[in-house]
Amino acid sequence: MALPLPFIRVVVLSTAIIFALIDIGLAAALTATSVYLPYAVLAITSAALTLLTLPAMIGLEILRPSGPLSMIIVEIPWLFSLSILWLATWANSVGGKFSCGVQARVGLIEDKPEIVVDIPSPACHEIPALEAFAFLNWILLLAYTGTLLILALGAACARREHTSVWTSSVANTPFVFAFGAPAPAPAPGINMLSSRGHGATAAKPALV
């Protein structure tokens, strides 16, 4: 039975598109309400590249599966590069989360000691969400890219005469050959009938 990798591909890429839409909205809100934040700019860049390329990859796989953007040799490096961008976005947003907030000092009131109060800004509530969706996109794209690479290597080794594995699309590559079941053995009854037939044929000249 063939592996449903084309269906898994559509689900993974569609989920990454949804997460990128959420992250670009959060990053835009951060840049509008705060000072310059490097991780917000990085999130916008990662999400923009994701939104520009992944819908095209899904559509071209359906409309023109033999096109250059549908080739496995193009898909694996590009999706891996996107996963690295999302990893960098997640790592930077984790560092920015700890510097979030504005400290205000409340002076001595009625002989009470000075207290340092942490007043969170509205942006502080958006950074954890941006961090979470960047992390999920990194895991999704990295897991799919690794799986696709392993299956493509298996298909290329199992079917050596199929030289177009790397230039084929996911939908047109016989990944099942990498994990194909061995050919079923012939039924015992057929072997017995066959051997009896051969025995009878060989015994006929002796009777004559």
CB within 8 Å of 28: residues ≥ 6 apart? 44
Residue type, 123: A
Domain count, the chain: 1
The first and second tokens of residue 121, run together, are 């800004």
Question: What integer pLDDT is reported at residue 71 of this predicted model?
Answer: 86
Distance CA 157, CA 163 (A): 10
Give mean pLDDT in consecutive 10-residue pieces for the chain, a chain of 208 residues: 75 96 91 75 94 92 78 91 95 71 43 44 76 95 92 75 72 58 43 45 46
Does pTM top 0.75 for this prediction?
Answer: no
Question: What integer pLDDT is reported at residue 98 of this predicted model?
Answer: 56
**DSSP code of residue 162:** -
Question: What integer pLDDT is reported at residue 34 of this predicted model?
Answer: 58
Total number of residues shown for the chain:
208
Question: What integer pLDDT is reported at residue 38 of this predicted model?
Answer: 83
Domain that holds residue 138: 5-207
Question: What integer pLDDT is reported at residue 163 of this predicted model?
Answer: 57
